Each structure stands twice: as structure tokens, then as C-alpha cells.
Amino acid sequence: MIKTLTNILKQDKERFQVPKKVQDIIPVSTIWPDGIFLSGKNKYSMTYKFEDINYAVASREDKEAMFLEYSELLNALDSGSTTKITINNRRLNRTDFEKQILIDMKNDGLNEYREEYNEMLMEKATGSNAIVQDKYVTISVNKKCIEDARVYFARVGADLIAHFSRLGSVCTEMDAVERLRIIHDFMRTGEETSFQFDMKDHMRKGHSFKDYICPDDYENHSDYFKIGDHCGRVILLRDYASYIKDSMVAEITDINRSMMLSIDVIPVPTDEAVKEVEQRLLGVETNITNWQRKQNMNNNFSAVVPYDMEQQRKESKEFLDDLTTRDQRMMFVVITVVHTADSKKQLDNDSEEIMTIARKHLCQMAVLKFQQLPGLQTALPFGVRKIDAFRTLTTESLAVFMPFRVQEVYDKNGIYYGQNVISKNMMIADRRKLLNGNSFILGVSGSGKSFTAKNEITNLILSTDADIIVVDPEREYAPLIKALGGSVIEISATSPNHINAMDMSSNYGETDPIIEKSQFLQSLCEQIIAGHKFAKGQQSIIDRCTENVYRYYKQGNYMGTPPTLADFRDELLKQKEPEAQSLALELELFTRGSLNTFARQTNVDTSNRLICYDILELGEQLRAIGMLVILDSILNRITENRQKGKQTFVFIDEIYILFMHEYSAQFLYKLWKRVRKYGAYCTGITQNVLDLLQSHTARTMLSNSEFIVMLNQAATDRIELARLLNISDLQLSYITNVDAGHGLIKVGSSLVPFENKFPKNTKLYKLMTTKPGEGLEEPRKPAPGKSSAASSPESDLLTDQELRILEKIREVAKSQEEFDALVEKYLKLLR
């Protein structure tokens, strides 16, 4: 027998003792706070938890790379120790979920929506798949004392973490409390919320840790066991097929039941393995030679070597070749599965389902007879192995039992974006934890872009105290914004709402506010003037006039009434240079003329934490500078919130409109790069991905955004996105001809397929949807520039002269109420 295996068996050999109490089923004698367990005489173990990676949705090339990297990890396992890889399917802890995900109630009049949203979250959590999958690696080694074991685990753990990092996974050590919780949750199903283990308190009272994690009762039978009210069974993978698909482990663990699948691995040093295989090959050759000699003695010189002997020779040579030339190692492996159910009948059905999956892959699984307790101790991540049903595998053969499937996105205090298409688990993401929290939502018309954005806005308003600003060019967000207590600001040439382009706080910009505002006004003026090119000296004039017009406002510590574009034009007229007069003339239309909506003092409430800028009726002439002014106003708000320590989320729908104008595109690009350090996060929403990618600025912004929601895409857009974000053909299928709300989410370096089906029988759905006939009907609004009185049937009979009189009334009126009253009086006079 191989020396390594002999030593392992000798170390694991223990005197059998009949369990006299339920605590005895736990094969651990001593624990340390750092997570090291002592089993048996000198067997120390340490458990590491590792995260899943996107293996199932990766391209063929990426899968091969992951497979080879995982093979390297297996090759790096220490031959002096035993490694146990465990996949733990556990039920979602409802109480923990409620603490982490559900939205707390507040006294702001929005609890009706919180209750609806929480009900939806609970329905998703307890729906089709309430199973959470955790993955562990447990290293067991025989050492003389705890100090030696600690030094060993420090070295091996660092190497293990590095290998998982190269795979794209995160591996972390588990302390004693975390390891005990795994056993507690399995042994005491339904009591997960009661786990509050305090090691110092138990030591002070003289209590054993086993008392806390062991079940109330344990009942052993020949082919199953009972823990409390639940039945369980341990199944062993007995026979392996010559060819196994890498999806076998995923299929077994995809069953919606609490279970643990463990793979115990004992690596063999290459020199020992080569020596053993050479001896076996020599034995096969000897058998063949003896057989041929016997045939020759019987004068049967043409006899062909029997198939079984020839097959043994071929396989032995291949095995030796794997060890010597193909960088393979010999591994002794034991694979066990323990699963639980509420009844014996259900347990039998689940066992048959697991065995059927194995038979489909030409493998044989068998129920352990009269070895259920040793099998249970082997399957759980204690770090012990009580079953000696070894099978000899190479590294590649073992790597086929791939523990990876699909990465889950489950961040504490995150936002619900949908369900993972593959695992059916909820996707809870927090883009604030990413290096760059800015995002894009991409998809064709009708794919659910606006709904995705509204879902995020709703979650943020209901669960955080962050400020949210929406730029709405299609008037799609008003019902939701108003229902959530926000302000909708309609901006157009004839709108009574005004935003002062010269508004500025003391925190404006990164350096001197005046310098920053001067640069903004230069962009604004360049956009206004004919040809969009400055005459000689005009930039210097703008800088000088900016300093002059803000002098008194700056002396008042940026308090009081700020100047307006009209004041800025008046300052230009005071300058002697003809270039200043020319610039003032260009500005006249936007200060004294009909497009002066941004040349007046701000008369709307911008202090609401939820603001929507409705720019549907912002004319073509006014759109370019209008977007600049709105973006500047948003930046002003972000800088104010930075001083208050508040976060700001900005949503810009149909963002491609901004990239059609060079200056708004550049301003947006700067905003995208700067807001992260201000505690703000921008989201761009668009359907014209190809148009977006034609802009170098937009392309850079998209490639630097770590959070991208991709919904159904047009064919040309898919090609460009695949090239930009390195999306495989398999991943592209999730954004090709799919229903609304289905697609891919890029979270950091991960691409995860998702679906978001929001319940239609809720008020929130009716507020968020844009499908005709499904949303709430909004009251019809009067045309811009007319009051409700002026938009009555009688108003259709007004002459052009009378309509001009109405415009004069609007200029005189100080508020909408006063305007309505004056119009009413005027109409009565007409009648």
C-alpha cells in the first residue's frame, strides 16, 4: 500500500466507542476561537469559506481556463493533509433576511408602499428557491500541538486564498463561532435564529460547546437517521463513470433540499504515485507475458492478448503518462452526500432523485448501510473522515467534480434587482461598494429600462435617506415621483418654473467657486453664440465679468440673492470692447427675449430629497443650454450634500440626448468622474446603445462603469457590447429576444443573468410601469403657458391678441394661483 495512505489511515484510526449521549455524535473534542478544531488525538482542522464564480455562464474558453486554474489549486494541496470540499445547501434564514433586506417602517406617509415592497421581497425569498448555497474547504492535518497546527494553517491558508483569488473567487478563514453555526443550523433545523454563541460565557459557566450545537435527540437506523423532527440519509458515490460531465455536482446540489455534498481528497506525492503505477504496470506486463508463455507452450502462437489484459495495460500506461508528462497527481477521493427531509417518504423520494441524477451520468450511488453516523460525521465539515471507500483519481478526473456554478449577488443593505436566472436566488446588489458606483441601464424600447430605474428609485426612497434627482425627457416618472412625495419641475420656454443658471453655493466646485463658474459660463456662452466659436478675447471678457457680477454675492459669503444671466449681460454691456457687445447681443434672446427661462431667479423648491426635472417641452433651441444648466444645478446639489454627509443618486433617462451636444457631453463626463468622491452616483438610461458607443466620451464612461444593467438588445448593439465588455456567446443569449425585465447585470467583473417579475396587482407596479393600459391614469395637464382656466373649451376661441394678453398676465403674476385668478377674471370679462 502507498505509504501516504498508510500513514493517513494510521492517524485516523480510533478506538470505537458507542455513543452514550447525543453530544457524542459530534467528533470534536476541543475548539479554539480562531476556528481550529481538534478531532481525535492529534487531528487539527481549519475551515475556509469561498465564494462562487460564474462557471455555468462562461464561454468555452473561459471554462477551460477556470478548469485548468482549479486543477492547479488541487495540485497545490499538501500531501501530508486531508482536504474536504463541501457544498452546503441551507434554507434561507427568514429572520436574518428580514433584518438585512426588508425595509423598516418610518413616519413619512410611505409605509403603504414599504409594506407592498416588503411583501414582494418575502414572496421572492420564499418562492421557487429558498435555498442558499455556501461552499467550504476544510484542511485537516496531524500535528503534535496547537502551535504547530497554527503555523501550518497560516502557510497553507495563504496559499489557498491566493489560488482562489486567481480563480476570481474570494476565500476567507472561518472562526470558531462561524464553524459552529454551520453545524448548529444543520443539526437544529428551524432554530437558526436562536444561534447566539458566546464562547467566553460558556467557558465561564463550564458548559460544553457541544451542548449548544447538538440536536435534542438523534436516532440511528440501518439506512437513515432522525435528528429531531427531520429525517436524513448519507449516500456514497460508489462507482465512477469513465466520462463525467462537469455539471454533475451542480445538478445534484440544485435539488431544493437541505443537503451537504463533501469531497474528501488525500493527495499522493508524485514519486510515490509513479512508483505505485510502475509496479502495477509491471504486474500487468508480467500477467500478459505469463499468459503468452502458456499459449506458446500449447503451440498457440497466434493467440491475441485478452481484451481485459490489454485494457489494463493501456490504462496503466495512460495513468503513468498523466503523472509523468501531463502535470497530474494521484488523489484518493471519497464523495458523500447527506440530505434531510421532513418525512421518511420525502427522504426516499429525494434519495431516488439523487441516485437518478448519478445514473444519468453513468455513476453509481449507494446508501451507507449501518454506517449512517460515520457517514454524517464525514459529510459535515468537522474535518474528519470515517468512511474509507477510496477511489483513485487523477487531478483532471477530480476537477470534473466542479464545485463552482454561478456567482450570487447578495450584498447587505443592497437593492433588489431581480432573481438569478440559474439559481433562482434573489439578486441584492449595493453598487456603493464598487470602486466606481456609476451605472448604465441599456435596452431596446419596451425592455424594461424605465421600470428598472424606477425600481431602484423606489427602493432608495423607501430604505435610505439619500437624495435622488431624475432628468426625465419623456415625462415617464411624474406619477411615481409625486406618489413618493417628490417634486416634478417642468421646464420649458413658456413654463412658470425657472432655474437660475447663475445659482452657486460656497461649496461649488473643487477649488474656487468663481473659477468653476467662469468655466461653466464659458461653456454656456460658447453653446449660445453662432458657430459655437469664441471671437478673440471673449473668454477673457467672460472671466472678468463673472468675477465682477459675483463680487457682492461673494462678499456676502454666498448668501442672499445670486445674480442672474440678465445681470451678467448687463455687465457685458458695461465693457468697452466690441467683442463684449457682440456677446451681449448673442445673449439677448436668452436673457431679455422669449427664451429667458434660465435668466430669472429660481422659483421652484429644489430642497425636496426627490426631484424630477421634466424637460419634455424644452425646445430644440433651449435644450443644449437647458441641459447644461440642469447638470450644473445637480452638481450644486451634490456639493451641498457632500458637506451634509448625504448621498445623492442621479438618474438621467435617454442620456444619448446629452451626448448629441458636445458641451453637455463634456460636462457629463466630468460629472461622471468627479461625483464618486462627493458621495454621489450617476445612472445613465438609454436604448440607442450603438449611437452611445459612437461617442468616445460615452464609450469611456460606459467601460469605466462597474454596474451595468443590460436588458433586451438589438443585434448591432449586442455585437458592440460583447466587444466592449467581453461578453461570451452564451451570456449574449440572455439579452437576445428576451422578455421585458430579463437580461444581464454586470457587477464589478461578474456578469450574472437575471429576471425581474414584479407583481402586477400592486400600486407600485402601476406607478412604475409604462405599458399602455397598465399604469395609473394621470389627470390631463394644460398646454404649456396656459392655466387650467385658459385650457378650457372657451380658450380655443381666443384670438392671437387675447393670447398675448394672457402672456402679459403671466409676466405680472407672482404665482400660479394669482395667474389662475387673473385669467378667470379676464375670461369672465370676455364672456
pLDDT digits (tens, 9 = 90+) for 810-829: 666 656 666 667 777 766 66
Separation of alpha carbons 753 and 711, rounded Å:
10
Q: CA torsion 324→326→331→333, rounded to 10°?
A: -150
Separation of alpha carbons 478 and 454, rounded Å:
11
Quote the pLDDT of residue 774.
66
Separation of alpha carbons 435 and 451, rounded Å:
26
Quote the pLDDT of residue 794.
37
Separation of alpha carbons 371 and 368, rounded Å:
5
Q: What is the mean pLDDT of residues 652-680?
A: 81
Number of Cβ atoms within 10 Å of the Cβ of 352: 10
Separation of alpha carbons 122 and 103, rounded Å:
11
Label the pairing between strands 487-490 and 30-31: unpaired
pTM for the full predicted model? 0.77
Q: Which helix (H) or strand (E) holds 747?
A: strand 742-747
Question: Is the CB of residue 134 less than 8 Å from the CB of residue 770?
Answer: no
Question: What nine digits make up the cell of 30?
Answer: 476541543
pLDDT at residue 548 is higher than 60? yes
Higher pLDDT, residue 335 or 204: 335
Separation of alpha carbons 553 and 568, rounded Å:
13
Q: Dihedrals φ, ψ of 243, to 5°?
A: -135, 125
Separation of alpha carbons 353 and 804, rounded Å:
80
3-state SS record for 525-549? HHHHCHHHCCCCCHHHHHHHHHHHH
| 84 contact partners, CB below 8 Å, separation of at least 6 | 136, 137, 138, 139, 140, 262, 263, 264, 265, 381, 383, 385
Question: Is the CB of residue 473 less than 8 Å from the CB of residue 657?
Answer: yes
Ranked by mean pLDDT, which of 240-244, 439-443, 505-509, 561-565 comes out on top?
439-443
Separation of alpha carbons 220 and 795, rounded Å:
88
Question: Is the CB of residue 227 less than 8 Å from the CB of residue 198?
Answer: no
b (16+ CB within 10 A) / e for 499-509: bbbbbbeebbb
Amino acid symbol at 158: A
The 10s digit of each residue's pLDDT in 314-356 is 989 998 998 898 889 999 999 999 999 999 999 999 999 999 9
Question: What nine digits make up the cell of 647?
Answer: 448621498
Using alpha carbons, list the distances in angstroms from residue 337 to 209, 405, 602: 26, 18, 68
- CA-wise closest residue to 330 among 320, 339, 340, 344: 320
Q: What percent of the chain has pLDDT over 70?
A: 91
Residue 244 exposed, middle or buried by CB count within 10 Å (0-12, 13-18, 19+): middle
Question: What nine digits make up the cell of 401?
Answer: 467534480
At 795, the pLDDT band (50, 70, 90 cuts) reads very low
At 589, the pLDDT band (50, 70, 90 cuts) reads confident
Q: What is the mean pLDDT of residues 450-462?
A: 93
Question: What nine digits make up the cell of 561?
Answer: 440673492
Q: Dihedrals φ, ψ of 483, to 5°?
A: -65, -30
Spacing of C-alpha 214 from chain mean position: 36
Q: What is the DSSP string of 212-270?
A: HHS-S-EEE-SS-EEETTEEEEEEEEEE--SS--TTHHHHHHTSSS-EEEEEEEEEE-H
- CA-wise closest residue to 755 among 445, 448, 454, 418: 418
Instruction: Write out the E strands in 51-190.
Output: 81-91, 131-142, 171-173
DSSP code, position 410: B
At 830, the pLDDT band (50, 70, 90 cuts) reads low
- CA-wise closest residue to 174 among 226, 137, 214, 131: 137
Higher pLDDT, residue 622 or 450: 450
Separation of alpha carbons 190 and 602, rounded Å:
59
Helices (H), 298-371: 307-325, 344-360
Rg of the chain in Å (alpha carbons): 36
Residues 626, 630, 632: CA angle, nearest 5 degrees: 115
Question: What nine digits make up the cell of 584?
Answer: 451681449
Label the pairing between strands 750-755 and 742-747: antiparallel
Quote the pLDDT of residue 594.
80
- CA-wise closest residue to 480 among 123, 758, 783: 758
Quote the pLDDT of residue 793.
35
Separation of alpha carbons 308 and 305, rounded Å:
9
Separation of alpha carbons 525 and 589, rounded Å:
12
Separation of alpha carbons 234 and 222, rounded Å:
11
| 541 contact partners, CB below 8 Å, separation of at least 6 | 572, 575, 577, 579, 580, 583
Separation of alpha carbons 327 and 188, rounded Å:
44
In the numeric block, the cell 381666443 is attached to: 798
Quote the pLDDT of residue 827.
65
Q: What is the mean pLDDT of residues 410-421?
A: 86
* CB half-sphere exposure, 64, CA atoms < 13 A: 3
pLDDT at residue 590 is higher than 60? yes
Question: Is the CB of residue 444 less than 8 Å from the CB of residue 713?
Answer: yes
Residues recorded for the chain: 831
End-to-end CA gap in the chain: 112
Separation of alpha carbons 269 and 277, rounded Å:
12
- Tell me what percent of the chain is helix, strand and coil, each rounded to the nearest 5: 45, 15, 35
pLDDT at residue 571 is higher than 80? yes
Question: Is the CB of residue 268 less than 8 Å from the CB of residue 330?
Answer: yes
Question: What nine digits make up the cell of 148?
Answer: 504547530
At 200, the pLDDT band (50, 70, 90 cuts) reads confident
Quote the pLDDT of residue 799.
53
Domain definitions of the chain by residue range: 3-92+130-399, 500-594, 793-830
Quote the pLDDT of residue 708.
93
Amino acid symbol at 549: V
Q: CA torsion 353→357→359→365, rounded to 10°?
A: -70
Residue 41 exposed, middle or buried by CB count within 10 Å (0-12, 13-18, 19+): exposed
Query: What is the residue-averaged pLDDT of the chain?
Result: 85
